[in-house]
Structure formats: C-alpha cells, structure tokens
Amino acid sequence: MLIVFFRAVILYILIVISIRLMGKRQIGELQPSELVITLLLSNIATLPIEDMTIPMSMGIVPIFTLVCLDVILSHCSLKFRGLRKLICGSPKIVVSRGIIDQKQLKDLRFSADDLLESLRSMGIFDINEVQLAVVETTGKISVYQKAQFRPVNNGGMGIKGSQTDPPQLVVDNGRIIYSALGLIGKDEKWLMKKLGEKGMPLKDVYICTADPSGQIVAIRKDKGKKKV
C-alpha cells in the first residue's frame, strides 16, 4: 500500500511537471495532437499505480517521451506551416456570405443542429445574422456577424477612449506583488505612500488594485467588503 502511495505522489508530481512543460495552451484549448497526449498521459500514469509488477520507469519514460515530442513537434509546427496544417488541420469555413456550406458541414460531420447550437451559445438565434462562420482547429466555431447585427462599439461611434491598461492586483493579503507594480510602472515607495494616504498599513490590506494612472482601490482585511 505504501508503495502505491509513493508511486501516486511521484506520478502526480511528474504529470504536473509534464503539463507545465506542455505550456498554458494545453489547459485552455486542445489541438488534436494535444488531446491525444492528454488522454494517453492519464492512461499511462495509472498503469504503474494500479499494477505493482510494472516498474515506475515504464510510466515515467513514456510520459516524458510523449510530452517532449509534443513540445518539439509544436515548436517545429510554428516554423513550418505545412507541418502545422498536417498536425492541427486548418480552419474550415462553414458559412460564407450568409450561405451555409452543406458539403463542408458534412465533411466535418457537423449537423445543422451542432451549428445552430454553437451559434445560440454565442447569442445568435437567427442564421441570417451570420456573415461568416469558421470551424477552428480546436472544433470551436467562430462567427462574424453581418454589419447590421454587429454590436456597436466605441470605434463605430467615433469615440476615442484613453488607451490605458486595466488595474493590476498589487497587494494580495498583505504581500506586495512586485511584478504587477512593475507592469503599471510604479514602485513600492509609491504604493506605501498611497496606502499611507488612505491610513491603511500594508499588513492590514486584503487586496489592493492599482492602474497606471495612479488610482488605487484597497480593501481592508477582515472588515467585510468595506472599500476605502
């Protein structure tokens, strides 16, 4: 039993390292090759845990081999477009100028229901609103609406807003996040001065956000949702 425990702990750490090695993209959206790797990893990892007769090396070697190959292959596919197309496939247009490409849908084995369901999930209930719809390599459908149905934005209205970055979390539970302070172009001295102005010592701050213009919002620890 203790051996199983140790093996589970070791493999857990190895899988976490492997997933980190594969990068953030792995967690968010899976390309076909990444999906295969993820499924394989979960399967391989369980073998040495369940079967004590299998040495750990039989789990470790394939896990790292698959992950390393995937990373190397994805780097190669960044350089070579042909390889990327071969591994990930290419986006397919399923609606063009408002007309559904039925052959493409059939090739992709997408039913009309699948298409409408995806459109509905994006808040589009009428197929007439769609100018262009593309099935991405991840299987997700991206839609470009016809001009008359597109939401109005500042650009469309001719409004020029300020090009500032959003606020950053600069203090988390009494600890300064220096990297976030760097992002907004401020330093610890500036932050301490601002907190001093609000009469709030650093150790009492639950969270504090700040933006490049110098505006800060600080919330005190254990005092409910009181905003200072």
Partner 1 sequence: MKRLTACIIILTVIAAMSVFSVFAVKKENDKFISLVNAAENSYRNDDSDTAQRLEELENAWNKYYVRISYIAQSCTLDDISYAVAKLPALLEKGSEEFLSECESIRSWTEKIYHTQYPHLYSVF
Residues at the interface with partner 1 (CB under 8 A)? 21, 23, 52-58, 61, 64-65, 67-69, 71-72, 75
- Report the residue number, 55 or 123, with the smaller CB distance to partner 1: 55
Q: Least distance from C-beta 200 to partner 1, angstroms? A: 39
- Report the residue number, 3 or 122, with the smaller CB distance to partner 1: 3
Q: Least distance from C-beta 69 to partner 1, angstroms? A: 7
- Report the residue number, 75 or 227, with the smaller CB distance to partner 1: 75
- Report the residue number, 63 or 216, with the smaller CB distance to partner 1: 63
Task: Compute the distance between CA of residue 183 and CA of residue 186 in angstroms, rounded to an integer.
Answer: 8
Task: Compute the distance between CA of residue 74 and CA of residue 22 in angstroms, rounded to an integer.
Answer: 9
Please give the order of strands across the beta sheet that includes 130-135. 99-100, 92-96, 130-135, 141-145
Q: Least distance from C-beta 67 to partner 1, angstroms? A: 7
**29-49 as b/e: b if 16+ CB within 10 A:** ebbeebeebbeebeebbeebb
Q: Least distance from C-beta 72 to partner 1, angstroms? A: 6
